[in-house]
Chain A
Amino acid sequence: MTIRHLNHRRSVLWIAALVHRLSGLALAIFLPVHFLTLGLAIHGEAPLESFLRWSDQPLVKLAESGLVFLLLVHMLGGLRLLVIENLPWRDGQKELATIAAGLSAVIALILLARLF
């Protein structure tokens, strides 16, 4: 069956849902790594310090601000859902979704600037 994919999948809200899901998955994969890194301190400050030095490179800093973007966009998108599900219906969901993504990007970019 080769019916062409429904082209409303390019709608803002569908993309927002996809971003929400993919960011959640990415964060879920990242978390164990994050916890293991912090757990380095069990052996004293030195292992953690050497990790922090390693993370001082441009690509890692980029990844870190990317992670902050994912965290924020996931949270803000989730907040939009909590509002839909718990408060009376409001229109303008496309606008809200776009604002959530934009705000997350801005904050992540500010962080990126600070890291360099």
Chain B
Amino acid sequence: MNVRLYVWQRLTAALMVPLVVVHVAVIFYATRKGMTAADILARTCGSIAWASFYGAFVVAVAIHAAIGVRNVLTEWSPLKDRGAGIFASAFGALLLLLGARAIVAVVLP
């Protein structure tokens, strides 16, 4: 890992600390209430706030997880910098795509 990747990984990590806290709080809230899909979607539908919150989360986690996976691959697999970078970028792109789709699914009516 070099300084550029390090900075991106640590910055997204720091950004996600409050996001994770809120997310876990949401999980606690939703489980206490025993929310159904209808309850959840009623809250998220048309909500700029939720879209922004989870939009930021998805972008940050895609970058953070991709770099993390890259590191693990360079150390624990036969892949080195280039191969690990390609695999990790593909994985990050997948997370971005699926994450964006998930947000669209719950925010758009």
Could you list which residues of chain A lie within 8 angstroms of chain B, going by C-beta atoms? 21, 24-25, 27-28, 31-32, 34-42, 45-46, 48-49, 51-52, 68, 71-72, 75, 78-79, 82, 85, 107, 111, 114-115
Contacts and interface: CB of A to CB of B under 8 A. Distances in A.
Nearest to B13: A78
Given A107-B24, A115-B31, A36 B106 contact: no
The 6 lowest CB-CB distance pairs between A and B, nearest first, are A49-B37, A35-B98, A38-B102, A48-B37, A41-B105, A42-B105
Contact of B101 (A35, A52, A68): A35
Nearest to A107: B24
A35 B99 contact: yes
A82 B11 CA distance: 10
A25 B72 contact: yes
B65 A28 contact: yes
B interface, over-half SS: helix
Given A27-B65, A48-B37, A39 B32 contact: no
A27 B66 CA distance: 12
B10 A35 contact: no
Contacts of B102: 34-39
B14 interface: yes
A111 B27 contact: yes
Contacts of B101: 35, 39, 42
B61 to A, nearest CB: 7
Contacts of A68: 24, 27
Nearest to A41: B105
